[in-house]
Amino acid sequence: MTKKLALITGANSGIGLATAMSLAHRGFDLILLVRNEKKGSEARIELQKANPKSCIDLVIASLDDVDSVKQAAEQINTTYARLDVLINNAGYTPAKLEFNDQNIEKSFYASHVGHFALTWYLADLLKKTAAETGDVRIVTLSSAAHIGGKVSRMFRRIDNLSPMWAYCDDKLANLLFAKGAAAYFEGTGVRSFSVHPGAVRTNFASDIPGLGGTLFKLMGPLMRSPEKGAETSIFLAAAPLKSIGERNNGAYFADLAPKKPRNSDITDKNVNWLWDKTVEKIIATNGGHY
């Protein structure tokens, strides 16, 4: 049987590394998309030891730089004839607000824009694989923090916004993107889901200053292991489609089951708005066909 290939962003640590480890044990070949070559090489060695038969490739890109994402996608498109699973996992809680030269908040750029661009530039490969297998999955890490997100703040420079609300916006955008991708790829065999992994003991939130950061550290012993936190991503990447349920394409999952997300901004109108806005602001200005 042909081996499946999965790409995982942020695969060098935390939930991403635990997801990669489990998929390697299940016989997947892997592409680790990371921004730090040294950390990526260390993860690659660890994963290769876990399953010497898996082919593990390292691709370097920073999700806050769409040019590097585009180059990474081009490298993958020319190297590989298939891509069965794309796991948009990387993300972080900003310690303070920073904006890029397009006035886009940087954690929003890395979490949403970078993953949107990666998916966009890999779309033909994903569709080609699905035309052969009927089964390609996109899994995007969101969070219960989507509850505090607001669509009206997205793509706007708000200098006095708390970094916590910025993170909530990132995670709402991830959830809306997963729904948008389900609609965009409808009928092609490419399905898309978002995930809340639970509160997981990783490097996540290690940069948060003040009381918030201290509280997060104190909660450490009560939090899930990365292996437990990766379970829903692994389920959506590797379980038979009938266990996931055809009607759940586009859904938000937690603890291996679809869950009703809680935010009145989750509407078809907003899903379409975010998709079109990201294409207009990012893809159209980077020479992507659409």
Ligand X SMILES: NC(=O)c1ccc[n+]([C@@H]2O[C@H](COP(=O)([O-])OP(=O)(O)OC[C@H]3O[C@@H](n4cnc5c(N)ncnc54)[C@H](OP(=O)(O)O)[C@@H]3O)[C@@H](O)[C@H]2O)c1
Q: Which residues contribute to the site for ligand X (CB under 6 A)?
A: 9-10, 12-16, 35-36, 39, 62-64, 89-92, 110, 141, 143, 197, 199-200, 202-204
Instruction: Report, in Å, the least distance between residue 190 CB and ligand X.
Output: 21
Q: Which is nearer to ligand X, 35 or 189 (CB)?
A: 35
Instruction: Report, in Å, the least distance between residue 134 CB and ligand X.
Output: 28
Q: Which is nearer to ligand X, 64 or 169 (CB)?
A: 64
Amino acid at site 253: F
Instruction: Report, in Å, the least distance between residue 239 CB and ligand X.
Output: 19
Q: What are phi and psi of 103, to 5 degrees?
A: 65, 30
Q: Which is nearer to ligand X, 1 or 218 (CB)?
A: 218
- Nearest residue to ligand X, scored by beta-carbon proximity: 14
Q: Which is nearer to ligand X, 65 or 84 (CB)?
A: 65
Amino acid at site 214: T
* Residue of 39, 155, 131 whose CA lies nearest to 81: 131
Q: Which is nearer to ligand X, 129 or 192 (CB)?
A: 192
Instruction: Report, in Å, the least distance between residue 41 CB and ligand X.
Output: 12
The residues near 208 (Cβ < 8 Å, ≥ 6 apart) are: 93, 95, 163, 216
Instruction: Report, in Å, the least distance between residue 141 CB and ligand X.
Output: 4
Looking up tokens 């993300």 gives: 91
Instruction: Report, in Å, the least distance between residue 188 CB and ligand X.
Output: 25
Q: Which is nearer to ligand X, 129 or 253 (CB)?
A: 253
Q: Which is nearer to ligand X, 29 or 64 (CB)?
A: 64
Calpha distance 43→124 (Å, rounded): 28
Instruction: Report, in Å, the least distance between residue 187 CB and ligand X.
Output: 28
